[in-house]
Structure 1
C-alpha cells in the first residue's frame, strides 16, 4: 500500500527533495520537451529516489493538453496533476497546491518541471519578443491602444516614483546588484559587472526603463521534486521543508488595479509568513521575480522587508548582494542569470540550493558563518496580476 493510500490523520510535512536546472542560457538544438526531460532526470537523480515514487505532476505553458503532453513525453502516468497558469507566479502557486495535496495524502511525490527555448525561438522567427493576448474579456479595452506588457510595468514604476520619490538611480541599483550576484555564478548568462551610469545611459525601452532595467531572454528549464516526509529518509540530500505558502490574484485590466504601488505579493506574502509562523525579519535570503527592476523593489516592500515607499532606499548600499544585508536573487535573477519566458520555478531551485549550501562562489552565509536557515521565493505573474509566495526552511 502506498503512503498516499493511507488515511492522513494529521497533515504530513512536505519537503523539496530534488532540484535541477537543464542546460540554460544560449541553448541551440534541444526542444522545450527535451529541456523538460533533461531537468526532470537531473532533479530525480539529485533526490536519490526511484522514479516510481512520482505520482503527481505539475506543468504549464507547453503542449495542447498541458500537463498531459509533457507527462507523456516523460513517461509518467500521474494520479494527481496541476496545470495552473497564472504567469510567472505559476510555479509558486503550483508548489502550494502540490504541498497541500501531499500533506493531505492525495499524492506522495510531485514533480514540477518547466522548459523553454524562448531565446532560440525569437532568433529563428518562431515567435515574437512581445506577449500577445486575445482581445476578449477585460483586455479588449486596452489591446487596441497597443498597451504592451512592459508599458504596464513602466506605468507602475512611474507611479511609485511620483508617490514616494523613488529615483531612477535606485531602480538601477537593483540591476547593478543582480549583476554583481551573477558575476559569481558560472551558470549566469551575463556576468560582466555594470554600473548605475551604464544602466541609466542605455537605450530606453519604455520610460523609465532602459534595456538593463529589463530581464534578459534566455533558453532553459528546471525541475523541483516535492515529497512527503515519509520519503525523506531515502533521499540523497538533506530536505528543505515547505513551511508556508500563499497565493493571490489581483486584476487583469490596469483600470481595475486600485493602487499601482501595491502588488498582490502584499497578500500572498502575508499569508505565507503567517502559515509558516515566521516574520520577514527572520528570512535570510529572498528570491523574487524580477522581469523588471521595479518588480524587485515593490515586492520587497509588499513582503514586509521595508515599509511602503522605502524600497528605493532599501535597495541602496549593496543590501541585495549575495553578501549584503538581505541577499536577493542570489543567482543573478531574471535580470542577469536566466529568464526563459517564465522564471518562477528557478526561484525555488535557487532558494533550495542556497539552503543546502550548494551555491558555490555565490553562497550566502549568516554573520556567524553558518548556512541560511530560511528563504522566501515570491513569483509575480502578468503585470502584477498574480502572486505566489513560498517560505522554505532547513
Structure 2
C-alpha cells in the first residue's frame, strides 16, 4: 500500500460555502443556479472571483461541464478537474484539490455542482436519454427501474440476511424529515411517520416513494484553499483532515456482496489519514439516496457492526436529540437531491462546524464525517472535517 504523506493532514481548508435554487429554482438553468452558488461561496470566503484559479465540478447534462461552467463564470482556471464518479464526486474532489494546492498548481479552488431536474431542463439521473449514454449490459435487458431497483436489491438482501425490517428502513426517512423540519431550506418539511412511509406508493419492493430521495433543483459550492492562507479570510476555516475514495463495481449485478460497500475501505482510510476514530466524530452527513444507504454506511464506516444498522437507527438515535446526529439538513430524503447530493452534505457539515444552523445547530460540534456515494453503491468517498487543524 502506498504510504500517505502525513503532512497532507489538514493541509487544506474549506473557507466558503453556499447553496442556491434549493427545491424548485423557478425555471432557472443548471448553469444559472450553480453560478449563483459559486458567487455566494466566494463572497462568503471574503474572496473575489479573480482570486479563483481552480475549478472542480461534475455534471449530468454535459460531457464538458467544467469547461461550460468556467465559461459561464467568466474565469480561466489554472487547474480544473471534472472527475465523474456520481454523487461521490464532490467529496472525492477534496483529495485532488489537496494534491493540486500542495503541488502549487492553484491556490483557491471552487468545488461546485448544480442541476434543475424539477423545475428546469437538467437531465434526470433516471431519464431514458441518460440510460442510453450509460448502459448496463447485464441488466438493461430486464428493464429495471434504476437506480431504485438496484438499491432495492441491496435492501432486500440486507433484510434477508440480517433480519432488517421495513420499519427500520422507514425510521431513516422519518429521522431525516425531523431534521428537515428544523431547516427552513429543506424542500419537504411536513410531518412524516413510519406508517406514512410504509403506506406510500410502492416504487420498487421494499421501497415506497418515501424510501427514495427527492427530485429537486439545487446547487452548492465550497471554496478550498491552503491552510496556511486561512487567517485573513472572512470565515473560520473548516480543515480537511483526511479524504479517501474506493470503488468496486458499476453495475449492481457485479457487486460481490450486496450488503458490503466500498465505504469499508474509503472510511477506514479517511479516518486513518485524519488520525481520527469513529468515537471522535460529532456528526455524520451520509449520502441517503435511499433508506438502505445510511444503514449500510453506518455499518461499513464502523459506527456499528455489520447487520446491526437497522436496529442502530431505531428509537431516534440518528434524529434530532439522538446520540448520533445524521444528515442534519434533512438529507437527500427530505432536503435536496438534484441528481447528485454530496456537495450539499459538505455544505451542511461546514455550516454545523461554523455554528450557522439555527434551530438544528448541534452544540459544540468539532468534527464531522461526510460520506458520498455514486452510482449503484458503486463509488464511495469519505472525508473527515474539523474546526481545528
Q: What TM-score, normalized to structure 1?
A: 0.92
* Whole-angstrom distance in 1 between the partners of 2:313 and 2:124: 35
* Whole-angstrom distance in 2 between the partners of 1:332 and 1:126: 24
Task: Please point out which of 303, 310, 313 is paired with 1:312.
Answer: 310
Q: CA deviation at 1:136?
A: 7.4
Contact 1:322 1:363 in 2 (8 A): no
Report the equivalent of 2:384: 391
* Whole-angstrom distance in 2 between the partners of 1:165 and 1:335: 23
CA RMSD in angstroms comes to: 1.8
Task: Please point out which of 131, 134, 137 is paired with 1:133.
Answer: 131
Q: Structure 1 segments of 4 or more deviating over 6 A? A: none
* Whole-angstrom distance in 1 between the partners of 2:123 and 2:379: 27
Contact 1:48 1:234 in 2 (8 A): no
1:3-60 superposed Cα distances (whole Å, 9 cap, x missing partner): xxxxxxx658210000000121111131111111100110011101232321110111
* Whole-angstrom distance in 1 between the partners of 2:211 and 2:243: 29
Contact 2:116 2:218 in 1 (8 A): yes
What does 1:110-125 correspond to in 2, within 5 Å?
110-121=109-120
Report the equivalent of 2:275: 277
Report the equivalent of 2:3: none
Task: Please point out which of 226, 239, 243 is paired with 1:228.
Answer: 226
Q: Secondary structure of the residue that 2:245 maps to in structure 1? A: strand
Report the equivalent of 1:80: 79
Report the equivalent of 1:344: 342
Q: CA deviation at 1:161?
A: 0.4
* Whole-angstrom distance in 1 between the partners of 2:74 and 2:66: 12
Q: CA deviation at 1:95?
A: 1.6
Q: CA deviation at 1:127?
A: 5.7
* Whole-angstrom distance in 2 between the partners of 1:294 and 1:387: 15
Name the CA shift for 1:259/1:127 in 2 (closer, same or farther; >3 Å). Answer: closer
What does 1:149-168 correspond to in 2, within 5 Å?
149-168=147-166
Q: CA deviation at 1:64?
A: 4.4
Q: What is the total number of aligned residue pairs between the two structures?
A: 378
Query: Would you say 1:144 and 2:130 are equivalent positions?
Result: no
Report the equivalent of 1:97: 96
* Whole-angstrom distance in 2 between the partners of 1:135 and 1:71: 24
* Whole-angstrom distance in 1 between the partners of 2:336 and 2:230: 30
Contact 1:18 1:46 in 2 (8 A): yes
Which ranges of structure 2 fall in alignment gaps of 5 or more residues?
1-6
Task: Please point out which of 295, 298, 304 is paired with 1:297.
Answer: 295
* Whole-angstrom distance in 1 between the partners of 2:228 and 2:122: 48
Q: Secondary structure of the residue that 1:141 maps to in structure 2? A: coil
Q: What TM-score, normalized to structure 2?
A: 0.93
* Whole-angstrom distance in 2 between the partners of 1:293 and 1:149: 13
Name the CA shift for 1:85/1:128 in 2 (closer, same or farther; >3 Å). Answer: closer
Q: Secondary structure of the residue that 1:17 maps to in structure 2? A: strand
Q: Secondary structure of the residue that 1:22 maps to in structure 2? A: strand
Higher alpha-carbon deviation: 314-323 or 167-176: 314-323
Q: CA deviation at 1:252?
A: 1.6
Q: Secondary structure of the residue that 1:227 maps to in structure 2? A: strand
* Whole-angstrom distance in 1 between the partners of 2:55 and 2:184: 30
Report the equivalent of 1:261: 259
Report the equivalent of 2:352: 354
What does 1:177-188 correspond to in 2, within 5 Å?
177-188=175-186
